Amino acid sequence: MATGTNTKVLVVTADPAFAAAVRGTFGASRAIDLAVVEGAVAAQADALDVSDTTVVVVDLDASAPEEMAALARLTGRTGARPPVIAITQAFDANVARVLLQMRVADFLVKPVQPLDLVRACAQASKAPSGGIETTEAKIYTFLPAVGGAGVTTLAVQAAMLLLNARGPRAKTSTCLVDLDFQHGAVADYLDIEPRLNIAEIEPRPDRLDRQLLEIMLSYHDSGLAVVAAPNRPAEMRSFDPDVVTRLLDLVSSHFEYVVFDMPRTWFSWTDSVLLGSNRLFIVSEATVPGLRHAKQLVAAIKERLGEGPKAEVVINRFQQSMFSSGLALKDIEQTIGEAFCSAIPNDYQLVREAIDRGVPLDDVKPGNKITAQLKKLVLEQSAKAADGKPLPLLKKLKLAGAR
């Protein structure tokens, strides 16, 4: 008989060797109630009773669409509790992308070491502090249309606003991720030490867990968590997309709000980041080339992501005077069309001082116009943005599988 304090692990597998290994790993512990359902997840998922289960472990063939679809139905039905751990025979960018979109708690690749499986189950079974249910992170992505548009400044300030949106918060509520691994400036803007070591996790991305992530996180004095790698301006390299996907999956599983500062270059993992975003901001400037690039980028994203998040164009450092010959707001609206969502005022001196001091804009000048406009964009409009809702799981699965 299971006791109320036992950890209840349910394993679904069609692999007799894996079933035997699981029984050998968990069977000797009196603190674990193990149930093994033998058979393919495609045949078992819809009938599984997980109401009294701590962790569900699903061993599946990731190359079989019917098994991935069954896993999507299972995670859609269970939500965050009980957490689901996926065991696959292969680990590639497509598999990682789909598992990321399903919000599985963890995933391991065969052959699975017993200690790795025990650690994964232990981490997944930990209830969130304070009894708060785990929810999907709300993801805000800032993507530059042109170089020098001020994407990092907007990403930093948006993250600060989200961190303080409901008053004093735990320092793990908001995370800012600098995905420009070659020229990223987030750590410099906040005057903190970048601690992400991609080279350390690249050989085995499945090693990346909460403990390792915590080692690689940096924290600003405000409490903002930051994922940033040291700059490598003379080192041109492309990281394994599995590493990036695994990192983003872990970050989005442990924070309430996640802000991505994207590089202008399109990588193999860019689609996954954009597809998983609740709000997707394209940042440009009020010049004719800038508007053209922004409009082209909106069209390209719509073509690539289909039913994914709607791209919203933000014109940064906008300044217009009565006698100016520059572009007027109506010119921008006519050029960009319905994708245009906001124009951020220009205040070079304020932004420069905030960057030099490594502090939010409000610390330099409370109630400034830039912060006021960002509040409307990030806080007020997010509450109304129906297009910012995550896609249904099966639609995401279909989109990701078509890449």
Q: Which amino acid is at 158?
A: A
Helices (H), 86-150: 93-102, 114-125
Q: Which two tokens stand for residue 367?
A: 């109630």
Burial 84-97, CB ≥16 within 10 A → b, else e = bbbbbeebebbbbb
**Of 251, 281, 267, which Cα lies nearest the Cα of 341?**
281
Distance in angstroms (rounded) separating the CA atoms of residues 135 and 74: 16
- pLDDT at position 209, please? 73
369, 345 in Cβ contact below 8 A? yes
Q: Which amino acid is at 171?
A: K
User: In CATH, what is the architecture of 138-401?
Assistant: 3-Layer(aba) Sandwich (3.40)
**Of 183, 181, 185, 164, which Cα lies nearest the Cα of 173?**
164
223, 169 in Cβ contact below 8 A? yes
- pLDDT at position 121, please? 81
Q: Which amino acid is at 62?
A: A
Residue spans per domain, the chain: 7-131, 138-401
Question: Quick check: pTM over 0.75?
Answer: no
- pLDDT at position 284, please? 95
- Specify the CATH number of the domain 7-131: 3.40.50.2300
Angle between helices 329-336 and 288-305 (to 10 degrees): 30
- pLDDT at position 257, please? 92
- pLDDT at position 389, please? 47
370, 344 in Cβ contact below 8 A? yes
- pLDDT at position 294, please? 95
DSSP string, 156-225: HHHHHHHHTBTBS--TTSEEEEE--TTT--HHHHHT------HHHHSS-GGG--HHHHHHH-EE-TTS-E
Q: Which residues contact 116 (CB under 8 A, 6 or more apart)?
A: 108, 206
296, 303 in Cβ contact below 8 A? no
Q: pLDDT truncated to tens, each residue of the chain (403 aa)?
A: 344 456 788 888 888 888 888 888 776 666 678 888 888 888 877 778 887 888 888 888 888 888 888 888 887 777 667 888 888 887 676 777 677 777 788 888 888 887 777 777 877 776 443 333 445 689 999 999 999 899 999 999 999 999 987 555 444 589 999 999 888 999 999 999 999 887 777 777 666 777 777 888 899 988 899 999 988 776 666 667 777 877 888 888 888 899 999 999 998 888 888 988 999 999 999 999 999 999 999 999 999 887 778 999 999 999 876 555 567 888 898 899 999 999 999 999 999 999 999 999 999 999 999 999 999 999 887 665 544 444 433 333 333 333 4
41, 67 in Cβ contact below 8 A? yes
